[in-house]
Structures are given as structure tokens and as C-alpha cells.
Amino acid sequence: MGVVTPRTATFPKQDRSRATRRRLLEAAVACLAERGWGGSTVAVVAERAGVSRGAAQHHFRTREDLFTAAIEHVAEEWLATLREHARTLPDSGVPRTRAVVEMLVGVYTGALFRAALHLWVAAADEVQLRPRVVALESRIGREAHRLAVEFLGADETVPGVRETVQATLDMARGLGLATLLRDDTPRRTAIVREWSRILDSALRRDG
């Protein structure tokens, strides 16, 4: 029994540690989205997560560690949600293309993008932050591109298709930026409808 007790005591401890880490990551993203990089420190996040500052520093040594891990964590969750959501897409044609474009635009108009945007903009001026944010952004961008290609059924061996899919992601990012300041849902809906029509015919045309 002397052997069993430490094990049963250890497992809940690991669970608690994982739960704490998760609370910190989620609080960090919310903090970044609401207060920007300037207002986002490990101390502020720890308080928001209801975790002691010492415990927070045990998980994340620096502010940069915490916030890049936070965006990465939420991006992973978001990619998993996209994959899940993809099962409910229409089978083919313009309806499917439009549903995919709506899904991608949805990504760039949510809280994750808002938080990421603060991190991106801060990273442009902060030497400490920049290389990891560049690496993170590349990784998320590549994965978003890969999913877009898969969901759209795009054949990237056809000249121009790769660039058209990338343009779609850039357009979604631009719409997200506009949404940061005001809710322009009607404008966005009209653009998504028109873009989807054009994209669909660009993807279906013979090379």
C-alpha cells in the first residue's frame, strides 16, 4: 500500500498542474484580447486565472513564454474545432465553397485572432518576442492553408490555385482587421458571398 499511495496522490497532482496551466493559457488569451500586450503581464494573468504568481512562474518562466504558449494553445483548439466543423459542410459546389470561406472568415473575426493580433503587433517592435511569434504565425498559417486546401478540395498542382487559396486567407485576415474596430457584418456577408462565387469558379476552371 506504501507504493500505491504516492501514485494515487501523484496523478491528481498532475491533473491539477495541467488544469492550472490551461487556466493560465486561457486567461492569457482573454487578457491579450482585452488589454493588449502593454496591459498583459504574468502577474495580471495569474490573478485573472486565480493562480499564485509563483505557480504561474513555475509554468512559464517569462512573459514571452506565457503569451506565445497561450496563442499556440488556442490555435490548436481552433484547428481541432475546424476539423470537427468540417464534417458538417455541404458536400460540394458553391454551397461548400461558401461554407468554407465563411468558416475561415469566422476564424479571423473571433477572440483568438483579436488576441493574436495584439501579439503580432507587439512582436513587430519587441526583439524578444519577434522570432517566436514569426515561427508561431508561420506554423498556424501553414496549417490554416493546408486545411483550406483540403476543405475546398483545391488541386494545387493547377497553376494559380495555391495563390488563390492564399489570397482567400489574406482576404479573411483583412476582414478580421476591419472587424476589430466595428461590427460590419452586412458588408462582410456580401463580400464573402461574392468571393465564394469567384473562388469556386477559379478552383473549378480547367488549368
3-state secondary structure of 184: coil
The string of DSSP letters for 55-78 reads HHHHH-SSHHHHHHHHHHHHHHHH
Among 37, 60, 67, 151, binds its own copies (CB under 8 A): 37
Among 121, 139, 146, 156, binds its own copies (CB under 8 A): 121
Residue 46 or 136 having the CB closest to its own copies:
136
Asked if 169 is part of the footprint of its own copies (rule: CB under 8 A), the reply reads yes
Q: Are 142 and 75 in contact (CB under 8 A)?
A: no
Asked if 174 is part of the footprint of its own copies (rule: CB under 8 A), the reply reads yes
Asked if 194 is part of the footprint of its own copies (rule: CB under 8 A), the reply reads yes
Q: Count CB atoms within 10 A of the CB of residue 152.
A: 21
Element (H, E) at 7: helix 4-35
Calpha distance 43→147 (Å, rounded)? 36
Among 19, 43, 111, 198, binds its own copies (CB under 8 A): 198
Binding mask 122-161 for its own copies (x = CB under 8 A): xxxx----x--xx--x---x------------------x-
Asked if 58 is part of the footprint of its own copies (rule: CB under 8 A), the reply reads no
Asked if 191 is part of the footprint of its own copies (rule: CB under 8 A), the reply reads yes
Binding mask 79-118 for its own copies (x = CB under 8 A): -----------------------------------x--xx
**Cβ neighbours for 145, distance < 8 A, ≥ 6 positions apart:** 165, 166, 169
Residue 16 or 139 having the CB closest to its own copies:
139
Distances (CA, A) of 180 to 43, 74, 123, 165, 187: 26, 18, 18, 23, 14
In this structure, what C-alpha cell is assigned to residue 59? 509554468
- Contacting residues toward its own copies, per CB under 8 A: 34-39, 114, 117-118, 120-125, 130, 133-134, 137, 141, 160, 162-164, 166-167, 169-178, 180-182, 187, 190-191, 193-195, 197-198, 202
